[in-house]
């Protein structure tokens, strides 16, 4: 029996930053020294339409695949016992869960689940809850083609989204990290459920990865590549505008006939003014409800649903 988990990164909402330390683990992780990700971003970039960037990208990258490969290399360089290999894929659909491959590509759906317009990326992974509940067996990521993707460091320049920090986030899910902010933690982390001005792995992100896969020789622990110092100085940050409590919305009764497919219901919430844009955009609160699926061939569990929290 396979189970599946969804993890989404959503746009907007600025988070308070404080120097606490406490990553979150998803549960399952990899029990192998390496796994290979097929990069289908270039093959599927036709889905971007008018959102397609001109190349080279702002940071000089010559392709979206190159940006993603760099993110995987950053993670790998911070882990002792896991290497994320990448190969160039050719899947123009971006991701196809049923092919058994670990893929990353532009796609507005993944396994029949449509990304909400506010979702930047969605990572799913399989594990076997009965025979090996602690081990991932496959993982793929859909990057929402509805956004304008580029690659740059520094503050987020909405509505042009930096693919690298999203790649770092989704790759964190691929190796077993969850959203610290959704676990009540207030930390500066790429792994928080909402994108922010944080453009690289933080000490908290790295500590999470190294908890699972060890610290490379020569590194003293969290803080190598892209990481902040283990004890970051408390940087006073502007108070984020309060996020209104999500208003419960009636959930449509899901479940079509043939196969029970997860129908998480995003509950859009009016958002505080986002990043530096004149355009106010609502912050989503996709509250994916765990859908315990019956028996069939494809039991699916949906968890996680980014819930922007008010610090
Ligand atoms: Zn996420």
CA of 80 to the centre of ligand 1 (A): 23
CA of 8 to the centre of ligand 1 (A): 4
Burial class of residue 258 in the structure, from the number of CB atoms within 10 Å of its CB (0-12 exposed, 13-18 middle, 19+ buried): exposed
pLDDT tens-digit readout, 232-267: 334 443 444 343 443 343 434 333 334 333 444 444
The pLDDT value recorded for residue 294 is: 30
Q: Which of 45-54, 138-147, 272-281, 291-300 has the lowest mean pLDDT?
A: 291-300
CA of 303 to the centre of ligand 1 (A): 11
pLDDT over 50 at 48, yes or no? yes
The pLDDT value recorded for residue 219 is: 87
- With residue 38 as reference, give the H or E element that holds it: strand 34-39
CA of 44 to the centre of ligand 1 (A): 21
The pLDDT value recorded for residue 4 is: 59
CA of 7 to the centre of ligand 1 (A): 5
Tell me the H-state helices in 54-152. Answer: 64-77
Q: Band of the pLDDT at 300, cuts 50, 70, 90?
A: very low
CA of 104 to the centre of ligand 1 (A): 14
CA of 49 to the centre of ligand 1 (A): 25
CA of 120 to the centre of ligand 1 (A): 9
Q: Which two tokens stand for residue 149?
A: 């993707």
CA of 248 to the centre of ligand 1 (A): 22
pLDDT tens-digit readout, 83-136: 999 999 999 999 999 999 999 999 999 999 999 999 999 999 999 999 999 999
CA of 88 to the centre of ligand 1 (A): 23
CA of 193 to the centre of ligand 1 (A): 5
CA of 37 to the centre of ligand 1 (A): 18
CA of 122 to the centre of ligand 1 (A): 7
Cβ-Cβ contacts under 8 Å for 26 (sequence gap 6 or more): 5, 7, 125, 173, 176, 177, 178
CA of 170 to the centre of ligand 1 (A): 6
Cβ-Cβ contacts under 8 Å for 48 (sequence gap 6 or more): 106, 145, 149
The pLDDT value recorded for residue 5 is: 59
Q: Quote the CA–CA distance of 171 and 141 in Å, as a whole number.
A: 8
CA of 182 to the centre of ligand 1 (A): 10
pLDDT over 60 at 81, yes or no? yes
The pLDDT value recorded for residue 22 is: 81
Angle between the 64-77 and 163-175 helix axes, to the nearest 10 degrees?
Answer: 50
pLDDT over 50 at 79, yes or no? yes
CA of 180 to the centre of ligand 1 (A): 10
Q: Which of 1-5, 56-60, 103-107 has the lowest mean pLDDT?
A: 1-5
Q: Average pLDDT in the 52-79 region? A: 98
The pLDDT value recorded for residue 275 is: 37
Write down the mean pLDDT value for the chain: 76
26 or 22: which carries more pLDDT confidence? 26
Q: Band of the pLDDT at 13, cuts 50, 70, 90?
A: very low
Q: Band of the pLDDT at 60, cuts 50, 70, 90?
A: very high
The pLDDT value recorded for residue 21 is: 53
The pLDDT value recorded for residue 229 is: 38
Cβ-Cβ contacts under 8 Å for 60 (sequence gap 6 or more): none
CA of 260 to the centre of ligand 1 (A): 24
Q: Average pLDDT in the 71-91 region? A: 98
CA of 54 to the centre of ligand 1 (A): 27
């Amino acid at each position: 029996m396979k189970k599946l988990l969804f993890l989404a990164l959503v746009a907007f909402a600025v988070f308070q930053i404080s120097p606490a330390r406490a990553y979150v683990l998803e549960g399952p992780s990899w029990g192998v020294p390496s796994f290979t990700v097929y990069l289908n971003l270039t093959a599927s970039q036709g889905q971007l339409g008018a959102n397609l960037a001109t190349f080279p990208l702002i940071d000089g990258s010559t392709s979206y695949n190159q940006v993603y490969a760099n993110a995987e290399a950053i993670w790998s360089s911070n882990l002792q016992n896991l290497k994320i290999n990448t190969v160039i894929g050719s899947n123009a659909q971006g991701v196809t869960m049923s092919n058994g491959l670990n893929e990353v590509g532009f796609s507005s759906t993944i396994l029949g689940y449509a990304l909400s317009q506010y979702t930047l990326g969605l990572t799913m992974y399989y594990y076997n809850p009965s025979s090996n509940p602690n081990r991932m067996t496959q993982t793929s990521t859909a990057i929402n083609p509805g956004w304008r993707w580029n690659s740059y460091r520094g503050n987020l320049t909405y509505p042009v989204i930096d693919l690298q920090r999203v790649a770092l986030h989704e790759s964190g899910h691929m190796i077993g990290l969850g959203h610290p902010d959704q676990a009540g933690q207030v930390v500066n982390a790429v792994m928080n459920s909402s994108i922010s001005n944080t453009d690289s792995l933080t000490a908290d992100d790295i500590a999470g990865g190294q908890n699972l896969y060890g610290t490379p020789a020569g590194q003293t622990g969290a803080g190598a590549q892209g990481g902040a110092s283990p004890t970051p100085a408390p940087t006073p940050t502007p108070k984020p505008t309060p996020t209104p409590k999500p208003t419960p919305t009636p959930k449509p009764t899901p479940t079509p006939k043939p196969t029970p497919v997860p129908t998480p219901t995003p509950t859009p919430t009016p958002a505080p003014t986002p990043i530096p844009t004149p355009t106010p955009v609502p912050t989503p609160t996709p509250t994916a409800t765990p859908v315990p699926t019956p028996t069939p061939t494809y039991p699916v569990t949906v968890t996680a649903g980014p819930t922007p929290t008010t610090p």
